[in-house]
Structure 1
């Protein structure tokens, strides 16, 4: 679903079925291997926020936002998020030293991400009571009670908000800048490039300590088919737009990054808390 469609729907991601366009669909398990299949037993068939799938790389059933078809480029990469939180959770003061990421915390981060993707109109205060009820089903083998899981769920919820805010900023910036882009194909319009811009903006949040180079480009190319949505651009045509959004983040990211990027370190990373 395009950004304009989101606005028409009141800013809410309705998780439309990619074929029927009916609201409420949240395809799960796309591209998940056999290892994840065993974890699916710990996943919930559905919640009031939508079905919960299996997050690749996690040992517990959580969200898989790998929807196919229209709208996929507007979603948040679940594989990237589980790897992000695998590192970032170590810095959180709410994490218990004797608890495990895959078993205990991945389900909480997955619930926060999935819930915020499914319901974009209610704030945390309106949603917390429902999330607390959902946690009992979504937790799988997690040893965390709600009071201990709550900070992780909220952390992922807030990061999701910031990621969508970044998408909105990049959309606003490139809807205009695209007209002057030297790589623009004469027969293409902005909607063809929007997924590439969003992919580049999101990739920067995942790799803020890396400069753009051939190795990074090759890594991003490997996932372009899953990120392009309905864009007709192959990687060779999309690459320049992805790179543009990746290296030009200061033009649209507002306060999400520090301006002084010399000697880049973790303080330059997209802030999640």
Structure 2
């Protein structure tokens, strides 16, 4: 597959993901807003949603925040939430929007058994993965 084909596929999936997750995030943003779509396309161009998900699915158990007894169905919504909300809050630090993310986690968590205290680091990890991949975003300080 050429880079152009992968880019087109990622953009299409990213835009769809933003439209679908707008309903999941609920009060955070209206679904299908221009800002959300553009941010979703930028995230999809940097790391396609499938690549992003596959990376974390292969690595979540080796992360320092992983809790034994939890499985992918618990962590996947946290990583997805990180992916979805990074585009929405792009340009802001995770710590600056964390209180809002915590409030909205109850709606975004789907069937995850993770409370915010457990999901926080996975969401943050997802943010930072996108932040490092998007041009101009990696130069912002984060911990």
TM-score grouping bracket, smaller chain normalisation: 0.5 to 0.7
Give runs of aligned pairs for residues 30-109 of structure 1, distance below 5 A: 44=24, 46-49=26-29, 51=31, 74-101=45-72, 103-109=73-79
Output one character per residue of 1:151-174: Cα deviation in whole Å (capped at 9) or x when no partner. 101110111100114xx59xxxxx
Question: 1:85/1:122 Cα in 2 relative to 1: closer, same or farther (>3 Å)?
Answer: same
Output one character per residue of 1:103-141: Cα deviation in whole Å (capped at 9) or x when no partner. 200000111111111221221121100000110000011
Report the equivalent of 1:159. 129
Gaps of 5+ in 1: 1-17, 19-25, 31-39, 53-64, 170-272
RMSD after superposition: 3.3
Report the equivalent of 2:5. none
Match of 2:57, SS? helix
Structure 1 residue 74 displacement after superposition: 3.1
Report the equivalent of 2:120. 150
Structure 1 residue 28 displacement after superposition: 3.4
Report the equivalent of 1:140. 110
From the two aligned structures, give the one with the greater helix fraction: 2
8 Å CA contact 2:78–2:119 kept in 1: the answer is yes
8 Å CA contact 1:107–1:140 kept in 2: the answer is yes
Question: 1:141/1:113 Cα in 2 relative to 1: closer, same or farther (>3 Å)?
Answer: same
Aligned length: 117
Q: Distance in 1 between matches of 2:53 and 2:92?
A: 24
Question: 1:50/1:122 Cα in 2 relative to 1: closer, same or farther (>3 Å)?
Answer: farther
Q: Distance in 1 between matches of 2:59 and 2:94?
A: 21
Give runs of aligned pairs for residues 235-254 of structure 1, distance below 5 A: none
Output one character per residue of 1:194-232: Cα deviation in whole Å (capped at 9) or x when no partner. xxxxxxxxxxxxxxxxxxxxxxxxxxxxxxxxxxxxxxx
Q: Of the two structures, which has the highest relative contact order with CA contacts closer than 8 Å and spacing of 6 or more?
A: 2
Q: Distance in 2 between matches of 1:108 and 1:151?
A: 9
Gaps of 5+ in 2: 1-11, 33-37, 138-142
Report the equivalent of 2:80. 110
| Aligned pair partner of 1:124 in 88, 91, 94 | 94
Q: Which of 1 and 2 has greater Rg?
A: 1
